[in-house]
Amino acid sequence: MTTIAIQAGLEATRKRLKTRRAAQDPRSSMGWGDDQEEAWKLLLEVSRNGLVIWISASNELPIEQ
Amino acid sequence: MSSTDLQQCEDVMPEDALSKQDRKRFKKLRKRATNVIHDGEHSGILMQSEWLELQKLWTASTSANKASNLGPLIGRRKRKESNKVEASHHRDLLAWFMNVIHRPNGLLQQPKKRSRSEDNPLRNPSIPSWVSVHNPASVSNVVVLEVHVPESLDIEACRVAVDAAVSQAKGRTALHAPTKLFQGHQPKSLSDGLLYFVTPSEPYKKQAMEGGDHETSMDQIIQALEDMVLPVDSWNLEGYPTSVDDKSMTAGERSETKAPAVSSLQNLESIPLNEAVQFVEATGFRIKGQNELDKNVFVKTLKRRDTTGDEGVRVFGLDCEMVKTSVGSELARITLIELTSFRSDKMETKTILDALVKPESSVKDYLTRHSGITAELLDPVTTTLKQVQIALLSILQPSDILVGHSLENDLMAAHFIHPRVIDTALIFRHRNKRSKFSLRHISAALLKRNIQRGSHCSEEDAVAALELAIRRARPGDSFVLPNTDERRSIMEMWNTSKDVKRAAIGPASWLQTHFTNTANGIHALGCNSLAACCKAIRAWTTGSRKAHLVWSNVALNDGLPENNLESFQTKLVSHFNHQKVILKNMMQHLTIWYRLIFWSISLQLQ
C-alpha cells in the first residue's frame, strides 16, 4: 500500500510568517499593509490545502471511486 | 532451464491439483476477496490466515486467472462522499494498517471507542468514517511518501503525474483525497499532520456539584465562576491596572461628588458631559506605570448608594476595540453583555452597552483590519471616555463578575478597574504558563465556532469569552485545549516490538526533527535527491529486509536538476512495478518452483 501526500508552499509560508511577525511588532518600522496581509492569507491557504493519494494494489476488483 | 524443458514440464503438470472440497473453499474465498462492499469499514479477506490460504489455493488452481492482481483496495464509503478530510484521518488509517500488519490474526475486532482519558490513543485506532478498506489482510507493508513542492508548482500537476504513473504501472487504483492539513494561522508540515497523535490533556478538576444528575442552574454556574475569579495578588503579574496606593482606590467611595444620572445606555451622549468630567476627576486616580501623555484617570467600580446591595451576583462579558493615537492605544468601541439566564445547558445574554467612543487624541491608525473601526464610523461620534466610565459605574456593582479575553487590555483602554474578573486568556493559557492563545483559536478549538472572520466584532468576542467561561464552569467534560506539545508518533507505536521494522528516508534535518531525536528502533537514511530516496525505498520494501512501514520525504523542484516532476513520475512507475502484489508474484514464484520440481522429477525418471 502506498500513500502519497503532497503539500505546496510550506517553506515560503513559514518565511512569510516570520516576516509578518517582525513587521507587526510595535517596535518595527517595516509596516505591514493590507495587500501584504492578503498575499499572506493566500499563501497560507495554498499550504493548508494538500492532497493525499492512496494507491491500492489491485486490478481485478471493480473500481468504485 | 530451456523454454522447451519448461514446455515439457507444463505438459506433464496435472490439470487441476485442487480437490472438490478445496475448489469449493477457493471459490468461497475468491468470491469474498473480489466482492467489494463500500458500505462499511472493511470487506473481503480480514484475516491473514485466510489470505495465505487463498494464495495457496490460487497457486494450486490452474483455472484461476494468472494475469490478474488481487490485493488491498481503499475506496470512499457510500453516502460519505462529501465528508471533509483532515490530516488526522490519514494518520488514523495509517495507524490502523500498522495494527493490521502487526496483529495478523484476530485483529479485526471492532475497535472500542476511544475515551478521552485513555493514555494511549494509538492502542485502538479506527478507520475514518469516509473510508472503506477491502482485503486489509493482504497488506504487508505501507509506504508513505511526503512530497513538498514550491508554491509555484500546482498540486494539480503532481496529481496528474501520479495518475499517469498509476495508469502506466497497471494493476493499481488511486483514491484522491483533498485534505486540510492544519487549522489556524500556524503553517504545519505533512509530518506534523500525518505522523502524530496528540495525547489527551490532564482533565481539569471541577468541583463536584451536589444533587446528582440534574440540569445545571444559574446559581451553580455563578458559584463555579466565583472560583475562577482572578486573585487580586495576580493582577500586577498579569498586567491588570492597579492603583498607585490603596487610598486612591477608596477615594471614590469617600467622595461627596454625585455621579450624573444615566438616562439611556443606548445613547451615552445624553450623559451630561460636564458632570461626568467633574465626577470622574473627583473620584478617579492614576495607576502604576501609566503613560504620562495619558491625562485620563481611572475609576473603580463603586458600591452604589442607591442600592441595598442585595441584587446578587451578576455576570457580564466585556470587550473593547482600540485604535492607535498619538498617546498610544485608545478606546474606540465598548460592548458589555449580561448573562440573563442559563437553561437547558444554554446561556442567554443581553447587550447592555454597545457604543462607539471618540478618542481624545488624533488617530494615527484605525487598525481597521482588527478593530473594524473606520474614520467614517468614528467621525460623527461624540461619546467620550468619561461618559463611558459613568455608564460602567452605573451598571456594575463590586459583587458582579466581569468576563473577557485578555481583559487587562480592555480595562486599560476603558480606564476602569473592577474587583472580580475572569480572564479566559489565563483560564485557557498554554501549559508553559507564559503563552496565551487567541480568543479566535480557543473558540475554534472548543466552541467549534469561527469568530473574527475578517475584522473583530466586540459583541461577538464578548459572547465567545462569556461562553468559554461558562462551559468551563459547567459540570461535565473538563473543557480543556488539547495539549499539542505532548504528541506521539505513529512510527514509535512499536518501539518495544522487535518484529516490526520501520524506516525513515529523507533529508537529515527532517530525520532529526521527527525520528532521530529520541531512542527508538527506526532505521533512518539521509537522502536529499529523489533518485536516492526512491532507491532507498526500494531497498526497504523488497527482499529480506522489508520494512513494515517506510516513511519518506522528498522535495520537488527545489533547485536540484534531478528533483523535477518528470523524474518523480518515472520513479513512481518504477516503484509500483517493483512493489510486489502478493497474489500475482507469489503465484509466479511458486509456479516456477513447481516447474523446477517436475523438471527434476522428469530428469530422474529419464
Rounded to whole angstroms, the Cα distance separating B135 from B46 reads 6
Task: Report whether pLDDT(A45) > 70.
Answer: yes
Rounded to whole angstroms, the Cα distance separating B348 from B336 reads 14
Q: If you average pLDDT over residues B392-397, what whole number do you get?
A: 90
Rounded to whole angstroms, the Cα distance separating B496 from B479 reads 33
Collect all residues of chain A within an 8 Å Cβ-Cβ radius of residue B175. 53-54, 56, 65
CA B281 to chain centre: 50
Burial class (CB in 10 A: 0-12, 13-18, 19+), B109: exposed
What pLDDT is attached to residue B581?
Answer: 43
ipTM: 0.90
Rounded to whole angstroms, the Cα distance separating B85 from B83 reads 6
What pLDDT is attached to residue B590?
Answer: 34
Of B36, B135, B178, the CB nearest to A49: B178
pLDDT tier for residue B418 given thresholds of 50, 70 and 90:
very high
pLDDT tier for residue B469 given thresholds of 50, 70 and 90:
very high
What pLDDT is attached to residue B248?
Answer: 53
Instruction: List the single residue in A with minimal CA-CA distance to B147.
Output: A6
Residues near B543 by Cβ (< 8 Å), separated by ≥ 6?
A: none
CA B552 to chain A, closest CA, distance in angstroms equals 10
Which among B252, B302, B304 is positioned nearest to B281, based on CA atoms?
A: B252
Rounded to whole angstroms, the Cα distance separating B194 from B224 reads 39
Could you tell me if B511 and B491 are in contact, meaning their C-beta atoms sit under 8 angstroms apart?
no
Range of weakest confidence among B45-59, B295-309, B497-511, B544-558: B295-309
Could you tell me if B417 and B288 are in contact, meaning their C-beta atoms sit under 8 angstroms apart?
no
Of B65, B73, B576, the CB nearest to A61: B73
Does A53 sit within 8 Å of B175, measured CB to CB?
yes
Does A48 sit within 8 Å of B181, measured CB to CB?
yes
Instruction: List the single residue in B with minimal CA-CA distance to A16.
Output: B187
Q: How many CB pairs under 8 A join A and B?
A: 181
What pLDDT is attached to residue B384?
Answer: 92
What pLDDT is attached to residue B480?
Answer: 77
Q: What is the DSSP letter of B86?
A: B
Cβ within 8 Å of A, B 117-136:
134-135
Collect all residues of chain A within an 8 Å Cβ-Cβ radius of residue B568. none
Range of weakest confidence among B221-225, B272-276, B474-478: B474-478
What pLDDT is attached to residue B14?
Answer: 42
Does A58 sit within 8 Å of B73, measured CB to CB?
yes
Does B194 sit within 8 Å of A1, measured CB to CB?
no
Q: If you average pLDDT over residues B365-370, what whole number do you get?
A: 85
Q: If you average pLDDT over residues B540-550, what whole number do you get?
A: 84
Task: Report whether pLDDT(B293) > 70.
Answer: yes
What pLDDT is attached to residue B129?
Answer: 86
Residues near B450 by Cβ (< 8 Å), separated by ≥ 6?
A: B440, B443, B444
Q: Within 13 Å and on the Cβ side, how many CA atoms surround B46?
A: 11
At residue B435, φ and ψ (nearest 5 deg) are -90, 150
What pLDDT is attached to residue B172?
Answer: 82
Task: Report whether pLDDT(B459) > 50.
Answer: yes
Residues near B222 by Cβ (< 8 Å), separated by ≥ 6?
A: B313, B315, B401
Collect all residues of chain A within an 8 Å Cβ-Cβ radius of residue B145. 2-5
**Distance set, CA B300 to CA B276, B336, B404 (Å):** 14, 16, 17
What pLDDT is attached to residue B206?
Answer: 61
CA B82 to chain centre: 20
The position carrying cell 461626568 is B276
What pLDDT is attached to residue B8?
Answer: 40
Task: Report whether pLDDT(B210) > 60.
Answer: no
Helices B530-541, B565-578: inter-axial angle, 10-degree rounding: 10
Reported in sequence order, the residue ranges of B183-279 that DSSP labels E, i.e. its strands, are 196-198
Does B162 sit within 8 Å of A4, measured CB to CB?
yes
C-alpha cell at B206: 471541577
Does A55 sit within 8 Å of B166, measured CB to CB?
yes
Which among B225, B286, B249 is positioned nearest to B470, based on CA atoms?
A: B225
Task: Report whether pLDDT(B132) > 70.
Answer: yes
Q: If you average pLDDT over residues A34-49, what whole number do you get?
A: 92
Rounded to whole angstroms, the Cα distance separating B264 from B285 reads 26
Task: Report whether pLDDT(B591) > 50.
Answer: no
Instruction: List the single residue in B with minimal CA-CA distance to A7.
Output: B148
Does A53 sit within 8 Å of B159, measured CB to CB?
yes
pLDDT tier for residue B108 given thresholds of 50, 70 and 90:
low
Cβ within 8 Å of A, B 369-408:
369
- Residue B178, chain A, CB below 8 Å: the answer is yes
Task: Report whether pLDDT(B91) > 50.
Answer: yes
Calculate ∠ Cα B514-B139-B64, nearest 5°: 160
Does A10 sit within 8 Å of B143, measured CB to CB?
no
User: Is the overall model pTM greater than 0.90, yes or no?
Assistant: no
Rounded to whole angstroms, the Cα distance separating B65 from B233 reads 80
Q: How many CB atoms lie within 10 A of CB B244?
A: 13
Collect all residues of chain A within an 8 Å Cβ-Cβ radius of residue B557. none
Does A4 sit within 8 Å of B147, measured CB to CB?
yes
Q: If you average pLDDT over residues B431-453, what whole number do you get?
A: 82
What pLDDT is attached to residue B421?
Answer: 95
Task: Report whether pLDDT(B309) > 60.
Answer: no
Cβ within 8 Å of A, B 560-589:
572, 575-576, 579, 581-582
What pLDDT is attached to residue B589?
Answer: 34
What pLDDT is attached to residue B104?
Answer: 60
What pLDDT is attached to residue B81?
Answer: 63
Q: Tens digit of pLDDT for each residue in B156-183? A: 888 888 888 888 877 788 899 999 999 8
Of A10, A59, A65, the CB nearest to B189: A10
Collect all residues of chain A within an 8 Å Cβ-Cβ radius of residue B182. 48
C-alpha cell at B235: 493582577
Per-position DSSP letters for B432-481, written without gaps between them: TSS----HHHHIIIII-----SSS--HHHHHHHHHHHHHHHHSSSS----
Could you tell me if A36 and B46 are in contact, meaning their C-beta atoms sit under 8 angstroms apart?
no
Task: Report whether pLDDT(B107) > 70.
Answer: no
Instruction: List the single residue in B with minimal CA-CA distance to A55.
Output: B174
Rounded to whole angstroms, the Cα distance separating B423 from B143 reads 47
Does B134 sit within 8 Å of A48, measured CB to CB?
no
